[in-house]
Amino acid sequence: MYSFIATQLVWWTGGAITVLSMVALALYAFTTYKHGYFRRRGIKGPKPSPFWGHIKDLMAVGAHEFDRRSVKEFGQVYGFYFGNHPTLMVADPDILKEIAIKQFSNFYNRGDTVQIAKVWQNSVNNAKGIKWKYLRAILQPAFSSGKIKGMRPILKRCLDDMISCLDSDLLDSKEHVVEMNDKFKRLTMDVICSSAFGIEVNTQRNPEDQFVKHASKILGGSLSNKVLLLNWFFPDFQSLIMYFAKDFNDPAAMEFLGATVRKAMEERKKSYPHEYRDILQLMMNTKSEDHAIGVSEEKSFEEMKKGGMSDADIIINGIIFLAAGHETTAALLGFISYNLATHPEVQERLLEEIDEVTGTIENSVTYESILKMEYLEMILQETLRLYPPAGRFNRQPAEDVTIKGVHFEKGMDITFTTYGIHMNPIYWPEPEKFDPERFSPANRGNIYPYSHVPFGAGPRNCVGMKLALAETKMAIVRLLQSFRLEPSDKLTIPLKTNNGGGLLRPVTLWLKLVRRKE
C-alpha cells in the first residue's frame, strides 16, 4: 500500500516538474523572442534581462540617468524594453523636430506603452486623434497670458501663505533649516486648486490635508506597480489584463480627487450665474442639453463641439490637472532652489535683478515684472535642462515612415528621452555644469534647434507650460524677496532624486533660509 502511494507521488511530482519545466521554457522562449525585436531590425541597445527588460535598470539608477548612459554608449537611437514591450528611444533633435513638428499629422498620438484604462481614454494627455484635438481646443484658452495675469490675486494669496508658514517654521528652528520639497508641493497644490477649480484647500496651513498625499499617487507610475508590470510582461494581453484590473492608479486617490472635482461642479451648478473663468468652467461651459454629450472616437469634431463634455469627461480631466498641475511645478521649484543655494554667485546676481525690478516690496510681484527678469529666465531654462521633471515623452506613427535612415513602423512606440538630449555634450558642452549663461541673449541663438525640450515639442506639448513657468518665477521671486537660500548640513550634494516612475523629483530638500535685511 505504502509502496503504491509512494509510486503515485513520484509520478505526480515528476509530472508536475515536467509541466513546470515546459511552462518555464515556453516563457523563456517568449521573452527571448520579444527581446529580439530590435535585433531583428538592426537596432542596438543595452542588453535586456528576461521578462524584466530594462525595468530593473530604471529601478537602480532612474530613467534619466539610464537614458544618459545609454545615449553615450549606443548613440541617439537605441532599443529599450519595458518588460517585453519594445520602445524605440530617440535622442536626436533633428528626428524629434521631424516627428513633433513637420510630420505631426502622422504622429498625432502618444504611444501605447501600456493599455490605458478606459477611465483615462478621454483625458487630454491620453486621448487620441480627433478627441485630443477637441479637448486641447477646449483647454488651451485657460492658459493664455491674459488668463494667467488674472490669476495674480490667487498667486499672491498662496505666496503670502508660503512666506507666513516659513516664518512660523523658522521660529521653531534654531538652525533656520526647512525641508522645502514638501513646502513647494503644498504651495503648488493650493495654486492649482484655486486657479483651476476655485477650491480653497489651504494645504500649506493644514499639514494633515490629504490633497498632496492623494495627488502624488496619480500619474507617478511606480515601476513596482503590479498592473503595470503585467502590462509590460505580457504586452500581447494588455486588453485582457486591463479588462480585469480596470486601472493601475490608486483607487482611494482616484476616488478622493474625483469626488473633489464632482463637488466643485455641483456647487457651481447651484450658484449659477457666477464669475468663474477657470479650467473647470471652460469644461462645464461645453455641455449642451440639446445634443448627446461626451467625448467619443465615434463623433466628429463638430459633433463633440455641439454636445460638449460629459461629467465623466470633466472629472477625469480635472484629476489630470490636479495631479500633474502641482507635482512637476513643485519639482522645478525645488531644483531651482537647490541650484541657487549651491551657487551663491548666481543667487546674488538674481537678487540684484529682483531688487532692481521689484524691490523688496512683497506685493510688487506681477506677471509683467517677472517678464522683465532676464537672468531669472536664464536660471529657469538652465535648471530645466539639468533637471527636466518629465524626462520622456512618446509618439506613435500612423503609417510607416523613414527619417534620417531610421525606419519607424506603424504603431511603434517611439519615446524621446529629454534628459538624453539635454545631457549630450554634442549640443551642450560640459553638460553636467550648471551655467545659466547658456541661455543669455548672446548665446541663445547658438542653441541647437530642439536640443532643449523640457515640455515636449510641437502641438502636443505640455498644455499648462505657461502657467507652470509663471507660477515658478513668481514663487522664486517672492521667496528671494524675503530670504537667502543656503545649503544646510542635511542637504545631500549632489541632490538625491527620485524618478522611478518617470518624474524627476528631489527626495528631500533641506535648505537654510536666512532672512534678508530690510
Binding site: what residues are annotated? 462
C-alpha cell of residue 50 = 528576461
Amino acid at 86: P
| CA within 13 Å, CB half, 9 | 6
Pairing of strands 414-417, 85-90: parallel
d(C-alpha 311, C-alpha 173), whole Å: 47
d(CA 327, CA 333): 10
The residues with which 402 forms a beta bridge, in sequence order, are: 407
Confirm if 325 and 142 have CB atoms less than 8 A apart. no
**How many whole angstroms separate alpha carbon 322 and alpha carbon 215?**
7
Contact 400, 361 (CB under 8 A): no
Q: Which residue has the cell 493644514?
A: 206
**CB-CB contact of 202 with 225 (8 Å):** no
Strands (E), 138-204: 177-179
Contact status, residue 408 vs residue 400, Cβ threshold 8 Å: yes
Nearest to 498 by CA among 181, 231, 254: 181
Cα–Cα distance measured from residue 335 to residue 506, given in angstroms and rounded to the nearest whole number: 7
Task: Please state the residue numbers annotated as binding site for heme.
Answer: 462
Q: Are strands 77-82 and 85-90 parallel, antiparallel or unpaired?
A: antiparallel
Joined together, the cell numbers standing for residue 466 give: 505657461
| Under 8 Å between Cβ of 414 and 86 | no
**DSSP secondary structure of 405-447:** TEEE-TT--EEEEHHHHHT-TTTSSSTTS--GGGGSHHHHTTS
